[in-house]
Amino acid sequence: MSEPNYPLQSLRDGHWFKLICGASFQNLPTVRNLTLAYTLAGVDCVDIAADPAVVIAAKEAIQVAMEMGRRNSHPTSAMLQKPLLMVSLNDGEDPHFRKATFLPLNCPSDCARPCEQVCPAGAINSHGVIEDRCYGCGRCLPICPIQHISAHSYVSTTQAIAPLVLEMGIDAIEIHTQVGRLIDFQRLWSAIKPWLPQLQLIAISCPDGENLSEYLWALYDVVSPLPCPLIWQTDGRPMSGDIGNGATRAAIRLGQKVLATGLPGYVQLAGGTNDYTVPKLRSLNLLASNSSRDSSMPHLETPPFGTVLTPRPRSPSQVSGVAYGSYARMLLSPVLEQLEAIEPIENSLSVLARNKGDGQLVTSFAESSVSTLRSQFLSLPQPILLEQAPKSLQQAVQLAHSLVSQLKPFRSSPQFDHELS
């Protein structure tokens, strides 16, 4: 895309903040509430599973947030900008694209169920794994006393790409890959390439590995030239940001390693990111916004949407932003759990787009149109919506803002003078 918009300007200026809901996380109410809270807090991008029902939930949350911003008289609402909506795809087996599974009938009757205690998503109970809540972190796998838990993985189907981009209006695609999978990457890229004119951003996520630099340069040769910006997501220690501050060290080390390659594009950290990440980046002078005048700009001076700005030259030794997944979810979990207590969540919401028999992602728009999926989603039993609980909404947005403001210190915490009915 040739015209800059607010999220891409954040990327250029080193203020880029991405929310990762989870490549295999399909709990619709949680995706909706996370998207709503972080959109209101000023997120630049929301990364979700390539599941039509999940896309619908996230898009509705963004629409509600924008409507709240338009109707709210508080000055901070004038800053609200629409984030990019991204879906994640994989070119092969990947921990982000898997679900834990086990038969509870085979568990020892006296088992203390350490798997249930260690699960950060509350996806395990006495009945087994709540599939739409599991996002593949794998913490339950080694802790099972009888090694009874396994994981089933799935690989994105190329047939899903065109409907996601054309019919559902996805703004960006992220490809998860690993060193040594060049042929698999090329297969997936060949399906994405025809739809590049409709996309605003491409991201490539890769963990560390032997010959990483050579592999990433080979990927760049495959995807270039691009009509849109390219992000290199450094997946340091996947799905670990909620464990503790130490988890961010791997993300920063990998970020430094990728920066040293001199690859064209933007570098964005992920995998172990939390509230320690940005302070550590600033202390190491690794964040591009360290030298930006925007970091001291009063929030009312933030450029309005659509303003054409001259991009500030970006140092090749600095990262442009951070993506938060498990930590961003954990931060809001106390508020979202309060909503669940008010109205139980149905655990079968993800059946709209998943064939549970073979574990493959099946996005069949020949059988179900977008409008049909939307009507199905709206007809399902739903918990109370975050915007219907004003105190919970304000609390959730303030918590989200506490993280977003580390990258966007010029943004004031949003205030709301009414709920959206």
pTM of the model: 0.80
Q: What is the spatial distance between Cα 185 and Cα 180, in angstroms, rounded to a whole number?
A: 9
CA 244 centroid distance within chain? 19
- Give me the CATH number covering residue 145: 3.30.70.20
Q: Are residues 174 and 82 part of one domain?
A: yes
* For the chain, percent of residues with pLDDT exceeding 90: 48
Of 157-166, 188-197, 358-367, 404-413, where does mean pLDDT reach its minimum?
Answer: 358-367
For 345, which DSSP code? P
Q: Are residues 244 and 118 part of one domain?
A: no
pLDDT for 344 beyond 80:
no
Q: What is the spatial distance between Cα 279 and Cα 300, in angstroms, rounded to a whole number?
A: 24
Assigned domain for 322 exists: yes
- Residue 188, domain extent: 6-91+159-331+387-407
Q: Are residues 253 and 292 part of one domain?
A: yes
- Give me the CATH number covering residue 322: 3.20.20.70
Residues across the chain: 421
Give the pLDDT band of residue 210 (cuts 50, 70, 90). very high
Q: What is the spatial distance between Cα 369 and Cα 168, in angstroms, rounded to a whole number?
A: 10
Q: What is the spatial distance between Cα 301 and Cα 307, in angstroms, rounded to a whole number?
A: 12
Number of domains present in the structure of the chain:
2
pLDDT in tens, 278-325: 999 999 999 987 654 343 332 223 333 333 333 344 445 899 999 999
Q: Answer whether 265's CB lies under 8 Å from 8's CB.
A: no
Q: Are residues 139 and 68 part of one domain?
A: no
Mean pLDDT of the chain: 80
pLDDT in tens, 93-130: 777 777 787 888 888 888 888 888 888 777 788 888 87
> Comparing C-alpha atoms, which of 407, 198, 370, 404 is closest to residue 289?
407
Q: Are residues 170 and 263 part of one domain?
A: yes
